[in-house]
């Protein structure tokens, strides 16, 4: 059981709610395209969904650093460094995405 307690476990419901809203927004985007709505309006809505995804990323990263990274660092220097390296990979992907 213990293994499945991740950083975001404490606010799993909030993350799920955000992801469900994003799923609804991508369905709305399909409707806009099917109804031949104006390109610029579709683009504005795509930017809104991208922003919502970025907010999910930052939230997950916040939980990860607050829980997994700090816990690992408190357990041992090397464990902390390993978790930091992993987090840095995710941050680099986030900056480029």
Site for a second copy in 52-91 (CB under 8 A): 53-54, 56-58, 60-66, 68-70, 73-74, 77, 80-81, 84, 86-91
Tokens standing for residue 5: 């307690």
Residues that bind a second copy (rule: CB under 8 A) add up to a total of 66
The residue written with tokens 């709505």 in the block is 37
> How far apart are CB 30 and a second copy at their closest, in Å?
5
Residues 57/92, Cβ–Cβ less than 8 Å: no
10 near a second copy, rule: CB under 8 A: no
> How far apart are CB 18 and a second copy at their closest, in Å?
10
> How far apart are CB 21 and a second copy at their closest, in Å?
10
The residue written with tokens 């504005």 in the block is 44
Length, in residues, of the chain:
97
The interface mask with a second copy, positions 19-38, x = CB under 8 A, is xx-xx--xx-xx--xx-xxx
Neighbours of 83 (CB within 10 A): 19
């Amino acid at each position: 059981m213990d293994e499945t307690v991740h950083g975001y476990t404490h606010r799993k419901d909030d993350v799920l709610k955000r992801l469900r809203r994003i799923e609804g927004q991508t369905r709305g985007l399909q409707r806009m395209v099917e109804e031949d709505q104006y390109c610029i309006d579709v683009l504005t809505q795509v930017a809104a969904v991208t922003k919502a995804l970025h907010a999910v990323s930052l939230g997950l990263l916040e939980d990860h650093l607050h829980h997994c990274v700090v816990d690992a660092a408190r357990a041992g220097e090397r464990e902390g460094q390993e978790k930091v390296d992993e987090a840095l990979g995710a941050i680099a992907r986030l900056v480029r995405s």
